[in-house]
Chains A and B, each alone.
Chain A
């Protein structure tokens, strides 16, 4: 089963290589992301599959928003490189592929950490989702730096799109709004998205999902709202300030819990469990707010680049 979906994704990747029109490349990329998300699911990773599904929605939306104005020009410059197949890079890639196949790691996988986490996470952390337990407790510093990367890329996007050289409106969003079926579909999906995002955040410690996935779903609610009703009443600067404040709050909260957590160990076991659940809940909510802020800013920045409004 996994092999079938892997083959589908490989075929769409090869189609991207030989395709000459950017519109089709975006469609192949969407197919590729769907197949890849299903592969993640079949490899036993529902959390990653969920993150990939929401992330691929964002990638497709980013490409489509930029499409009208920039990518249609890119079509003309695609053809020339494809008339002859470059032999040397092909041989080089195939050679590296062979080397990797020959030297790839084989044999038994060391399952020490897996057993450690799976056997102990209920006693150490609580909840029912070991993935959430790892990224919020055992390896919380990775999560902090991941949040830092999101902040940095948002700052980079704001900085790079600060100078608006051109004016003129794109027709892409108008076309979406004129399309009755799309409007109805998004109107039905929109409130469910928000509900689904909140559900993912609040149940992150019990089921697949959590702060990142829920935050992305909440941000996509605001994007749908903009596409249908043309509302963008959120101030980018307030959102950016809020994102920075939440990032500081996440850092302080996580670090203080990690360092001062020993105090709670003096409590008896049955009193301790609610604190751990509460920690994961608060961290998930903060991360969700931060990720949502970041991606709303990124999307509105694309709108600014496109429309010169806000």
Chain B
């Protein structure tokens, strides 16, 4: 037997398949198809959690996604612990392990419940008022304590071992909500042949047909009709049916985010199955069929376990075969709760009494309840309840006062009416409109190509709903260009109809009382709190919301918003529409980070780019550094070497014999066309027209504002072909910058740009022995200084593969950059390495490259420049074509501030103590004795130990730097002031003779 409260004759679950589960360590039996909530109720368990602020005992309120109370932790293993799972949504599987939250030491005895007694202290705005002083205590004391005491579950502390998938999908008609309305709309649209997606958050389609025992469609029980209709839809090629799938966000142009819970309901999910799947759907038309959510009655102690929504009690009975009590009371202000009483009575549950706030309502359900012998009390209110861990009685009083009567009950089913779920409509930027007659907000002005149908549109009655939904589905399909449907509209044979209800606090919880009548269960907000917020000066509903936190919990006020609004409006003495509704925002229900991130974790968090030569460097034990997305060999430590020793050795080797460096990541762009030189003239400061084919030039690119944007060596391969190099990090934006000017400013030029960064692997061979290393492998290129002078380029072969061989240097030594097609990169490197070994060459990494170029005063854009440095500031005036009429940046460079005296200029810096290496970024001052804050006149941009110079070297941007040669300046650091001398930027081989050495 799967629980004492299971009624074998009721419900749709098969009793055959038992699933055992545990809650707070206690083992129970449930049935496959149960939710955790229905299985707990079947075992008579109502107490499932403690409330957020007051730690009040709480039970199961609902049977769906709106649940504010029954939040539990589901544990599969040490790493798979999910907090804040709604027990009403979690499907049962054999072995499910659930724990209650926010209680210590146990659920039935919770020390934190002292907050309930001290509750006058914790009224609305309490945190804002109390924890203001001292300010410093907020971070260290108050916030951690409050977070520990109040709160939801505990986040898992291990990496999430599950995987999550994502899918972009497109359809003509997206139907959100799989109740009667959604199914009818989907049928109508699908029959036309257009692409349809139908999604519902429940495991089974049907929506309110799960509990509406009075609904008959096409001659069948409503729920059975829904299953048959969905099976028919699922079998159609043009339809995708998604159950357990919540539309959580409705974004621009009918872009809807949905999360499908793929395996949380399975006992053993299997390794290949994603836990959740994120669907990002673009729909031509959206049909919103999101239904309505029942509201609770706002009365004293309405949060006691055993008090729940009437529709939920009906769902537990009619779908899960569970009676929520043996002796239930009903408290209502509308008809739908009568149906719950009738169904329970017929199933053999005693209905102690129906308490109806209305004076003399009439209708078939009331007649039926009366005929079944249920006691009905009109014009009365429940003003008090007995019991703490479980409701034990309800005290009833005429709503205008008078004699009280206490009725023993073990559950109270309540209904204040139904709130249309306009969340997604509102997220779509649609404007809701208040219907004064029915007292509800319904879709008003639409902002996107969508339509609302059924209960979420304020449409009452199954027949009207199906008419509206079927027509809307057909119209949506037609709008996308579909032909008229051939199908037939489902026919309603029997249905239920519900009247309205009430908003706000019930009698006995009015302004003259101090009772705890909860409006928002999850955030522990009472009717009194909302009144207090108004009394303290909150006028806007947005302020009331933030002050009280009403509707701000993870349930987003699905049950509480309308009550809160009505109480605020009443206190303000304004009609509801004038007070207005707070904005609905995504997500509709909480979404896991896993689903949002989906594939983008681990190796797919971001692309990791590796060069063709990477495997060789890895095998050599290179240490890599991240440069943008690239992994670059940083240094190549040999046994026993630390970074400094390795870098020193690499730097010395390059100047003594030779070094090999993987420069493949440098950006490369091929500029081709008869106007290539003209284009280069416009994009770079340098002159290009007269550069001979076969020669290279160092180019500087500016932005229009006159500041350095990028630099690199450019080789002219032919009159109409340039091989342009860029910085590693700058490659994509330089390409974009060039394309921008070419396409939009200089479209008359016949020239095209192609990224060849990844076509060519680049091996820099630098040092006095570099030519000796390369020459034996090269064919068809004269390697002499006359045949291949410094700053020239030739096409030929190396190791039998095509090469673009540059004679250039970023070290100040004789140097070459060997470009070979990328797939040959590693093999050519290995061949060069073998040659290099004959001469004692070393492989060097990016750190040595940085040191070597700094020894020569060569700048690195982005390190020695920061977007506010002009060519003149960087000492690169020589690279600006003085006779040019135009280039990007020509005018910006001439702006008054950019030519003013005293600008920061790039200079060399030597510490007085040659052993001291400055910190990059350190600030420079003239007078170290001045008061703090000191006047900073510059900062260090590059700083290294130079083994080749036998001392530290640095580059710095210093105000008026070039007029300070030889001056002494100071670098104040935490451990003392460092004295430095301003020098030229070249620290090694000032004459440059080694380029041909």
A, B bound: no
